[in-house]
A and B are shown apart, each in its own frame.
Chain A
Amino acid sequence: MADTVMFLLSGLLIGAAFGFALQRGRFCINSAFREVLFQDYTMLRAYMLAVVVTMVGANLIESLGMLQPVADASGGTTAGELYRQAFVPWANVIGGYIFGMGIVLAGGCGSGILYRVGEGSLAYVFAVFGFFFGIVITKFGFLKPIYEWMIAPERVIWLGEDTVPTLDNVIGVNKWIVIAVVSIVLLYFVYQGRPFKKAKKGYAWHLVGILAGIIAVAAFWASDYYGGRARGLSFTGPVREFFLAVLMGNSQAASTDKTLTLLGVTFSWSSLYVLAVPIGGFLSAKLLQEFKLKVSPPDEMLKVLLGGFLMGIGAQTGGGCNIGHSLTGVSTLAVSSWVANIFIILGNWTMVYFLLIRPMRDMEV
């Protein structure tokens, strides 16, 4: 009973905390990447700060042995590790690029579309539905053959026999050297963002960056302790698992993941925080008196739906969204996530050019 309660509570709390912090800080990785093209680096600095906190924190709990030991072939146990995604170049590159284009159309990223549902924006309900459709059509439906071709075992790149390539093992140094170098570079750039000004209401950018990082680290620990696998915070798999549980009665999560069956419906741990992100966003918006049910013009609703759909296709193909790859995955130093993140940024910039920069410029003529 206590286990059931903790399973539920830990998932819901992490999701609600994340949604609350993101809404308060107006945090959005889509704008972080997009605004680079308009020479505004504020949100990018918040994102970098979140990456540094997550990277140091997650690797610390791994190195200190705070993850659950796993059984090995010899009958003993080995120290638990962070879940690092296999490197599948075709999928990471193409999926990342498509996802990056999708977030611009949708006006929000994997987590952004969820917390903005909590602000009362119905456009983002469309985005979330589109996201789920895109995920399912890729994993189970029409696009499955292409997806399965891209992630087929012969297209997975290992280091040696069966080691997932990471920045540290590819270079051949201790992971803490890589973490130190990356952190110093990112923090130097973050530091250029002084003064650390507070917004009128809500959280200043550096505070939301740190909070997002702390919650991502907590999610690594809790996903391992309660969820059975240190997969950390991500939204692609979990959104799929949440909707599959609600619609089909079972999350269909990986066999290593722990599940909870309530009233005949089987949830994975991660699917719980998906439910809680909009709730956290709603609470924050309500307290700031910013909650309002609103709709966008019809053409924008369609654009957002299409954007969500592209996000789903890209995220399922590439193995994650801007949280799964750009925050959580990048922090594990997995090569797959660094490559996917680069292509998410390139996809973002491509779509910003065609959707925002070019039409605006042409309007002037």
Chain B
Amino acid sequence: MSLKDEAPTQTLDTLGRVCPYPLLLTKKALEKMSSGQMLKVLCDAPASAEDSIPRFAEKGGFGFESVKLADKWELYIKKA
């Protein structure tokens, strides 16, 4: 089962936010979550969705999946 089929513990809406808030809010939300929980992030800033958030997730060893929709990305991050 891929991450996007799991029910997220929390959904974070960063739509419209400018760099670097999507990344910072994502970090912040993950800090508060416990291991194994999943965060779903809605993001429409290309640099954050495609570059900085995936890189952060990889460095942290978190599970990560990204779904590109017509007007935004849905990012699924599972805390390690």
B50 touches A297 (CB 8 A): no
Known contacts A356-B24, A360-B28: A199-B50 contact under CB 8 Å? yes
The distance in angstroms between the C-alpha atoms of A297 and B52, with both chains bound, is 21
Interface centre among A28, A42, A290, A295 (most CB of B within 10 A): A290
Q: Total A-B pairs in contact (CB under 8 Å)?
A: 72
Which of B15, B51, B68, B70 lies in contact with A199, CB distance below 8 A? B51
Find chain B residues with CB under 8 A from A297 CB: 16-17
A200 touches B70 (CB 8 A): no
Find chain B residues with CB under 8 A from A174 CB: none
Interface centre among B15, B19, B66, B68 (most CB of A within 10 A): B19
Find chain B residues with CB under 8 A from A289 CB: 68, 70
Does residue A194 face the partner (Cβ distance < 8 Å to B)? no
For chain B, the count of residues having a C-beta within 8 Å of the partner chain is: 27
The distance in angstroms between the C-alpha atoms of A200 and B55, with both chains bound, is 11
A26 touches B18 (CB 8 A): no
Does residue A300 face the partner (Cβ distance < 8 Å to B)? yes
A40 touches B50 (CB 8 A): no
The distance in angstroms between the C-alpha atoms of A356 and B66, with both chains bound, is 25
The distance in angstroms between the C-alpha atoms of A285 and B49, with both chains bound, is 13
Known contacts A200-B66, A292-B44: A304-B18 contact under CB 8 Å? yes
Q: How far is the CB of B21 from chain A (nearest CB, A)?
A: 7
Chain A proximity mask over B43-80: 1 for CB below 8 Å, otherwise 0: 01111001110111001000000101011100000000
B46 touches A294 (CB 8 A): no
The distance in angstroms between the C-alpha atoms of A288 and B24, with both chains bound, is 24
A40 touches B46 (CB 8 A): no
The distance in angstroms between the C-alpha atoms of A277 and B66, with both chains bound, is 28
Does residue B36 face the partner (Cβ distance < 8 Å to A)? no
Known contacts A23-B46, A119-B46, A200-B66: A28-B19 contact under CB 8 Å? yes
A296 touches B18 (CB 8 A): yes
Known contacts A23-B46, A200-B54, A363-B28: A292-B72 contact under CB 8 Å? yes
Interface centre among B28, B51, B56 (most CB of A within 10 A): B51
Which of A42, A112, A201, A292 lies in contact with B55, CB distance below 8 A? A42
A360 touches B18 (CB 8 A): no
Which of A40, A201, A304 lies in contact with B59, CB distance below 8 A? A40
B31 touches A364 (CB 8 A): yes
Which residue of the partner chain B has the closest CB to A288? B46
Q: How far is the CB of B68 from chain A (nearest CB, A)?
A: 7
The distance in angstroms between the C-alpha atoms of A309 and B47, with both chains bound, is 23
Chain B proximity mask over A282-323: 1 for CB below 8 Å, otherwise 0: 000100111010111100100010000000000000000000
The distance in angstroms between the C-alpha atoms of A300 and B14, with both chains bound, is 12
A285-B46, A364-B31 known, 14 other contacts, Cβ within 8 Å: A26-B46, A28-B47, A31-B52, A107-B20, A108-B19, A121-B18, A121-B45, A292-B44, A294-B15, A296-B16, A304-B18, A356-B20, A360-B27, A363-B28
Residues of B within 8 A of A (CB): 15-21, 24, 27-28, 31, 44-47, 50-52, 54-56, 59, 66, 68, 70-72
Residues of A within 8 A of B (CB): 23, 26, 28, 30-31, 34-35, 40, 42, 107-108, 112, 119, 121, 123-124, 199-202, 285, 288-290, 292, 294-297, 300, 304, 356, 360, 363-364
Ordered by A's residue number, 16 sampled pairs between the chains whose C-beta atoms are within 8 Å are: A26-B46, A26-B50, A31-B52, A35-B52, A40-B55, A107-B18, A108-B19, A121-B45, A124-B18, A290-B46, A292-B72, A294-B16, A294-B44, A300-B18, A300-B21, A304-B18
